[in-house]
Each structure stands twice: as C-alpha cells, then as structure tokens.
Chain A
Amino acid sequence: VLIYGNVQQKTMQVVYDVAGNKLGFGAKGC
C-alpha cells in the first residue's frame, strides 16, 4: 500500500473523525 508517513504530516492538524468516517488536514496546525 501507499503509506502516508509522519514526516509528511508535520505542522498539519491531522483530524481522525472515526465516527464520521473522514480524515482532515489543516495547514499550520502547530
């Protein structure tokens, strides 16, 4: 599989909405 790793997630707010079955990305999250 393509695996989206943690280096590429840096500084984003990564949101796991498991109940809503969706994943979110917010720029400049920290």
Chain B
Amino acid sequence: AAAADRKLLASESHEFHTIKLSSILPGSVCDSSSQGHKLPSPSSLKVVHKHGPCHKTKESSLPSASELLATDESRVKSINSRISFSAARNTFASTDSVRLPAKSGSSLGAGNYLVQVGLGTPKKDLSLIFDTGSDLTWTQCEPCARSCYDQAEPIFDPSKSSAYSNVSCGTPACNQLKSATGNSPGCNTNTCVYGIQYGDQSFSVGFFGKDTLTLTPTDVVPNFFFGCGQNNQGLFGQTAGLIGLARDPLSIVQQTSKQYGQVFSYCLPSRSSETGSLTFGQSYVSKAVKYTPFSSSQGTTFYFIDVLAMFVGGQKLQISPTVFSTAGSIIDSGTVITRLPPAAYTALRDAFRKQMTSYPMGKPVSILDTCYDFSKYNTVKIPTISIIFGGNTKIDIDGSGILYAVSSSQVCLAFAPNSDASD
C-alpha cells in the first residue's frame, strides 16, 4: 500500500489530484500546529469551523452530515426565493402604482465559519458566524427578555459596557434596517427595534444599538451599529450571533469603509480541525490573486459573479453558456455545497464518474448523489475541477474542495444541482 501511495503521489498532474484520505476526513482534535500558525496580518482574525474541535461546542449538539446538508439546502432555497423576489421587484420598479409586499425575511440559514471579536468596553469576546450573504451583525444580549439559545461564551450584557447606547427610532441608522434585514424596524420607548428572520425559521429580534467593536488589539471600530438580540431562536449552534459581510450600508464592510477601504479577504482551512483567517484591508492581499468582476446591479446583499465554463480532468465540459447566464451566479461564505444549474451538474457529475470508475461507489447522502467507498484506500486520485469566471479568470479548485467526506466509506462529490434551471 505504501508503494502504491508513493506511486500515486508522484503522479500529481493538472488533470488529477492525489489526496491522502486522512487529510479530508473530519478531525476530532483541534490541530495545534494550525492554531499556532501565524495570521497573515495584524488585522487578521482567526477563522474556525462552527462544528469543528477548535470551537468549544458540546458534542451532543453536533449535527450529523445529513442534518448539516439539510440546513444547507434550506439556505439555498431561501437565497433563491430572495433573488426571485428581487428580480420581480426590479421588473416593476418603473411602475409607481405597483405595490409589492415587503421582503418576507432575509431567509438565510447560519453559515459555518466563525471569528472571535470583542464587543463593548471593556470588551467581551464573542464567536460570530461570518456571512457574506447577509448584512446585519447581531449578538444575543442580556437580559434575553424573551429567549436566548445556549451559547459557548457568556452572553453580552450591554449594561456592563460603558460605550453602549441604544439607537433612537427614526434615525438614519434605524431606517437603514429595512434594507439590511428586509423588515421595517419597530420602536419601543424610542429605541429602534430590529428583526431578522431566516429561511429555516431561525430569527433574532432585539434592540438596535452601537458600541465599540474590537477586531484585533490594533483594530478597533468605535460606534459600531449592531443588533442586541432579546429573542433569538434557531440553528445558530453555540455561536454568539452573526457578522454580516454583504454590501448594505449597515454591513461591517461599509461601516469600516474608511479604515479598510471596503476590502476584506478570508482563507478557509482544508479541514474543520484547522484554522483559517479573515482579514480586513488591502495591504495583505497576495499579488498572485486573480480577479473576476462583481455585478452590482442586482441588489445590495449578494455578491454576483459570472461563471462561463467548467473543466473536469483538464477537459472542458460541453455546457451551453446560457445554462450559466439564465439565473446568474453568486459566491456565498455560508453555503456549504456549490449548487449548479441542472444541466451543468449532470455534465460535471458524468465526467467525474467516468474518471472514477476504478473506485467502488458508496451510499448517497442527502443532496450528494455521487459518493465513493474509500475505506480500503489511504490515498486516492481524483480528477481536477476548474471554473472559468467572468474576465476569463480560470480557478483550479483545491483537492479538499472537490470532495465532502462524511466517513471513509462515504466520500462524495461536493456539488449538487438546483431543482430548476431558472433557480
């Protein structure tokens, strides 16, 4: 087996990845070498997986792979419904007499990667999900007037922060909540009240306030607007809330635009037991980065990009460009599995399966229908997958981004189809 592994590892090419199975299976211990890994800049925050061993979570609260993928599906459905709504609204935008209902909630299930930030004076450390698919930053707040779920760190208490203040009703920041959350703000004894609801029925409601946000010891944001949640329920794991990295004026990207010039970057680790980073500002962006343009005409929340073509094992898939352009494309840090238009998925899956015939197939799981039983292998050879984005920017997906490992006997192609070509 060792000799076969050496032979496989020596045969790495642009058409195949050779992967050690142990490198993609979920780890049970936080990787101490990655913990000590130097962050790329003083403005970088450590990123950990929500259900990985680097975040203190009760084992009993860890979801199964099927549950995780079901949650992912609910996020995808809600993204599609939001974009459909936005498209319908744009269609009628020029007709004054047409009145559409307000967006029925932001509809975004919780993402999977966390950063720890400090809130208040003195600061309290809070682990927040970071999400490029939503705008509002919120955390659970004492006294939890209605309901708080169990979180790993102590719940933020605004009465113990000298810099906290509530935002008054009718102020520009309060009025901005309508576009940031999809819901009109409420008012309680002149304090602005926010409400954000997600597609899986998770929600947070509370007072809209501002306080000092400490990203790193050298990066402090005074008067940062955020939601102080008094009624919080849903699939947020044991995190303290969420940090919104989309494009609305209330997102952290826009609130810190003077400090960081509306630029941020992240790197997600290959395993959930390792750490990555989230960095604000341009200074530490690698010169080797290849760019594709955003389309900013479709609302302020999602980051729309263009996908032009896909390659499997170095061979271009025969997919009509209209397959990708019909409904468009977004990038999202909170969706786990990439969703493709049905025709693109079928072409990708068939090409992948064709090059994987030497491995026994395994049982499908949830939305993943192309799984392999690698229990008898230490190392496997899988075809490369590349995507051409707008501007002819070709990106080779890392080996760890092609497979989703539930167990050694159930390692699946980490792509899934949308239910409809127009999704």
Contact = CB atoms under 8 A, between A and B. Distances in A.
B112 interface: yes
B8 interface: no
A27 B330 contact: no
Contacts of B404: 7
A8 B401 contact: yes
Contacts of A29: 265, 267, 286
Main secondary structure of the interface of B (DSSP, over half): mixed
B48 to A, nearest CB: 12
A24 to B, nearest CB: 4
Interface stretch (B158-166, B179-187, B205-213, B389-397): B389-397
Interface stretch (B53-61, B92-100, B339-347): B339-347
Interface string A1-30: 111111111111111111111111111011
B335 A5 contact: yes
A2 B343 CA distance: 12
B80 A15 contact: no
B117 interface: no
Nearest to B335: A5
A13 B286 contact: yes
B235 to A, nearest CB: 16
A17 B401 contact: no
A24 B284 CA distance: 13
B269 A26 contact: no
Given A11-B401, A18-B253, A26-B290, A3 B335 contact: yes
B21 interface: no
Contacts of A5: 72, 332, 335-339, 414
A7 B265 contact: no
Interface stretch (B292-300, B352-360, B375-383): B292-300
B295 to A, nearest CB: 8
A22 B264 CA distance: 11
Interface in B316-346: 324, 327-341, 344
B294 A26 contact: no
Given A11-B400, A23-B305, A3 B293 contact: no
B80 A1 contact: yes
B251 to A, nearest CB: 9
Interface in B399-414: 400-402, 404, 414
Given A11-B398, A26-B289, A2 B344 contact: yes
A15 B265 contact: yes
B83 interface: yes
Nearest to B393: A25
A13 to B, nearest CB: 5
Nearest to B395: A25
Contacts of B423: 1
A10 B268 contact: yes
B265 A2 contact: no
A8 B414 contact: yes
B132 A27 contact: no
Interface of B: 37, 72, 76, 79-80, 83, 111-113, 132, 245, 247, 253, 257, 261-270, 276-277, 282, 285-286, 288-294, 296, 303, 305, 307, 324, 327-341, 344, 387, 389, 393, 395-398, 400-402, 404, 414-415, 418, 423
24 contacts: A2-B329, A2-B339, A2-B344, A2-B418, A3-B76, A3-B330, A4-B305, A4-B329, A6-B112, A6-B334, A7-B414, A10-B270, A12-B398, A13-B265, A13-B285, A16-B132, A16-B265, A19-B261, A23-B331, A23-B389, A24-B289, A25-B393, A26-B286, A29-B286
